Amino acid sequence: MKIEKGKVVTLEFKVYDKANNELLEDTKEVGPFFYIHGHGNFVPKIEETLEGHEKGFSTSIDISVEEGYGEYDSDLVVEMEKSEFVEFDDIYEGLDFIADMDDGTEQSFVITNIEDEIVTADGNHPFAGKDLKFDVVVTGVREATKEELEHGHPHFHGFGDDEEEECGCGCDCGCH
């Protein structure tokens, strides 16, 4: 089956920082990556490169800052009071959380430093400001279900076809 609009594509990849060849992410550690092709789920240049290929295809793709995750924005580095985290059981460096922004959007942050009562958090994507190299292997291609197309993201299947089970996609859509 060829990769085209509306197909759910499963990828294994390694992402390297081009500047120093540092391995930034390996799906062997965090689990395979799924996306619905042609729905703006993933880096456009990677989707374009994979278009028309099939399971087993592998390639190496350079993604510049502009093509990827954008420039590093120092305005997204914020200092907060520890007291703002009262609803958390525990806070530590590396913890991520979602914050409501002034413009009504949600932004995910990672705590980068905790000193006395001051917590520093960074809202930049970990790949922001970096030229990247993706070593990609296509490990699956299938039709998206009607439900997945409605939600605009893939669901995980194969953990039992119990209708009552959560889709496991991590979204708040309440889908079953």
Nearer to Zn ion, 62 or 143 (CB): 143
| Site size with Zn ion, rule: CB under 5 A | 6
- Residue 174: CB minimum distance to Zn ion, A: 8
Rounded CA separation 18/64 (Å): 9
CB distance 4 to 52 below 8 Å: yes
Torsion 118-123-129-134 (CA) sign: positive
Q: Does 173 bind Zn ion (CB under 5 A)?
A: yes
Amino acid identity for residue 162 in this structure:
D
What is the end-to-end Cα distance of the chain in Å, rounded? Answer: 27
Within positions 12 to 71, which residues make up the interface with Zn ion, using CB under 5 A? Answer: none
Instruction: Identify the residue among 18, 45, 53, 151 touching Zn ion (CB under 5 A).
Output: 151
How much of the chain is helix, strand and coil, in % rounded to 5? 15, 35, 50
Q: Does 175 bind Zn ion (CB under 5 A)?
A: yes
- Residue 42: CB minimum distance to Zn ion, A: 17
Q: Does 91 bind Zn ion (CB under 5 A)?
A: no
Which residues contact Zn ion (rule: CB under 5 A)?
Answer: 151, 167, 169, 171, 173, 175
